[in-house]
């Protein structure tokens, strides 16, 4: 196992991306744009054939954000087998579907070809480490490393594993890619960010179910209200500032009961056919005829502007 993050600069500059759908293509572009040679594999011949074109667009976005400076492009290789992709690499980013049996079958193939020291990082969004690692011969080199979509733009990577050295190395590696890493102290389904997102969306669905507001109004309230604030301070810090000069202590003492009253009024909706129909109709109306591709492009352009503004040095 790689014992020290300082050894990073001594490693070969090749990584593997296993599973090249939405998340895998995004990871591939990020790795390439930071000078790594990327070996890829996907079970779909169609995805393999289309990968270079999709990754080219991702690299173009990253070059635009950096104004073409400070980026040295690596090489992309599409392999016909998992074994070919994971040989002679120091890092494997796995992005298979959210199925324990599917992922474990892939790990079995990886372990027949990859070095025992190669890190296997799973981009799982909901599965936990202890479920995935049960059949690994070298579980100490396995970590869950959940990104937020799209990984090449969203900085967050949530980490969990049982080996501190592997986690420290992962932090060092992802930080060289401009990612913001957080460690879980205890594994949890959905990690941190997806649990927060799920809690918020549950109430967003509940408000549609109860007729409080339509989908577009709920999304607008989030984007122009707490979502904007959360892009610079987290939930706990927001309430600390909401307590005025007394901070979170004052807030909890004087406004804690009102917070509990709001919690008590939150709903637990079910995704019944009627509610699903309302959500689909609401999102369709909000999309206003724009395709998924158009909406993704608008989202990515907005994220790029937000990141540029947030990362700009203060005047």
**148-198 per-position pLDDT tens digit:** 999 999 999 999 999 999 999 999 999 999 999 999 999 999 999 999 999
pLDDT of residue 310: 85
Q: Which domain holds residue 277?
A: 193-232+270-311
Give, in order, the Cα–Cα distances in Å from 26 to each of 148, 151, 281.
11, 6, 29
User: Quick one: 93 and 168 in the same domain?
Assistant: yes
pLDDT of residue 311: 80
pLDDT of residue 12: 59
User: Quick one: 77 and 138 in the same domain?
Assistant: yes
Backbone CA torsion sign across 5, 130, 24, 200: negative
pLDDT of residue 131: 96
How long is the chain? 315
User: Quick one: 30 and 51 in the same domain?
Assistant: yes
Residue bearing the bigger pLDDT, 310 or 286: 286
pLDDT of residue 152: 96
pLDDT of residue 41: 97
The domain spanning residue 91 has which CATH number?
3.40.50.720
- Residue 99 to residue 76: CA distance in whole angstroms: 27
- Residue 119 to residue 143: CA distance in whole angstroms: 8
User: Quick one: 165 and 293 in the same domain?
Assistant: no
User: Is 61 inside any structural domain?
Assistant: yes
211: region left, alpha or beta (phi > 0 left; psi from -120 to 50 alpha): left
SS3 content of the chain, % helix, strand, coil (to 5): 55, 10, 35
pLDDT of residue 13: 84
End residue of a domain, out of 153, 183, 213: 183
pLDDT of residue 2: 43
User: Quick one: 150 and 284 in the same domain?
Assistant: no
User: Quick one: 160 and 211 in the same domain?
Assistant: no
User: Quick one: 114 and 178 in the same domain?
Assistant: yes
pLDDT of residue 72: 65
User: Is 15 inside any structural domain?
Assistant: yes
Give the tokens for residue 171.
């932090």
pLDDT of residue 66: 78
Per-residue pLDDT of 219-236, as tens digits, reads 999 999 999 999 999 999
Phi, psi of 183 (to 5 degrees): -105, 135
pLDDT of residue 71: 61
User: Quick one: 157 and 198 in the same domain?
Assistant: no
- Give the total number of structural domains in the chain: 2
Per-residue pLDDT of 240-296, as tens digits, reads 999 999 999 999 999 999 999 999 999 999 999 999 999 999 999 999 999 999 999
The model carries a pTM of 0.90
Give the tokens for residue 304.
């790029």
User: Quick one: 165 and 294 in the same domain?
Assistant: no
Segment holding 19, helix H or strand E: none
Backbone CA torsion sign across 166, 170, 42, 132: positive
Phi, psi of 148 (to 5 degrees): -105, 140
| Residue at token pair 């509610």 | 275
- Is the per-residue pLDDT at 138 higher than 50? yes
Three-state DSSP state, 68:
coil
Average pLDDT over residues 288-312: 93
User: Is 80 inside any structural domain?
Assistant: yes
Query: Do 58 and 152 contact (CB within 8 A), yes or no?
Result: yes
User: Quick one: 124 and 218 in the same domain?
Assistant: no
pLDDT of residue 169: 95
- Residue 147 to residue 281: CA distance in whole angstroms: 29
Query: Do 91 and 176 contact (CB within 8 A), yes or no?
Result: no
Phi, psi of 300 (to 5 degrees): -65, -40
Per-residue pLDDT of 41-66, as tens digits, reads 999 999 999 999 999 999 999 998 87
User: Quick one: 175 and 282 in the same domain?
Assistant: no
3-state SS, one letter per residue, for 208-245: HHCCCCCHHHHHHHHHHCHHHHHCCCCHHHHHHHHCHH
pLDDT of residue 197: 96
Strand ranges of the sheet holding 76-78, from the earlier edge strand across to the other edge: 76-78, 37-41, 14-18, 91-94, 119-122, 142-147, 156-161, 180-183
Average pLDDT across the chain, whole number: 92
Per-residue pLDDT of 246-258, as tens digits, reads 999 999 999 999 9
- Is the per-residue pLDDT at 212 higher than 60? yes
């Amino acid at each position: 196992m790689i014992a020290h993050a300082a050894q990073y600069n001594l490693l070969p500059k090749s990584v593997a991306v296993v599973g090249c759908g939405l998340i895998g293509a995004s990871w591939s572009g990020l790795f390439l744009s930071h000078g790594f040679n990327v070996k890829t594999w996907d079970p779909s011949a169609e995805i393999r054939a289309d990968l270079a074109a999709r990754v080219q667009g991702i690299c173009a976005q990253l070059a635009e954000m950096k104004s073409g400076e400070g980026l040295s492009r690596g090489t992309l290789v599409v392999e016909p087998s998992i074994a070919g992709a994971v040989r002679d690499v120091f890092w494997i980013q796995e992005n298979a579907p959210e199925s324990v049996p599917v992922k474990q079958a892939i790990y079995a193939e990886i372990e027949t070809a990859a070095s025992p020291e190669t890190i296997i990082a799973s981009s799982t969004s909901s599965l936990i480490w202890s479920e995935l690692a049960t059949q690994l011969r070298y579980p100490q080199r396995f970590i869950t490393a959940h990104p937020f979509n799209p990984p090449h733009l969203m900085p967050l990577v949530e980490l969990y594993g049982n080996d501190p050295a592997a986690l420290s190395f992962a932090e060092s590696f992802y930080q060289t890619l401009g990612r913001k890493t957080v460690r879980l102290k205890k594994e949890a389904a959905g990690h941190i960010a997806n649990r927060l997102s799920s809690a918020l969306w549950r109430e967003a669905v509940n408000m549609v179910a109860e007729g409080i507001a339509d989908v577009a109004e709920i999304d607008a309230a989030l984007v122009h209200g707490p979502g904007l604030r959360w892009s610079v301070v987290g939930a706990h810090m927001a309430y600390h500032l909401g307590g005025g000069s007394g901070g979170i202590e004052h807030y909890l003492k004087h406004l804690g009961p009102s917070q509990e009253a709001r919690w008590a009024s939150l709903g637990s909706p079910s995704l019944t056919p009627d509610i699903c129909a309302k959500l689909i109709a609401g999102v369709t109306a909000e999309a206003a005829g724009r395709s998924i591709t158009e909406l993704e492009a608008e989202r990515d352009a907005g994220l790029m502007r937000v990141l540029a503004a947030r990362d700009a040095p203060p005047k």
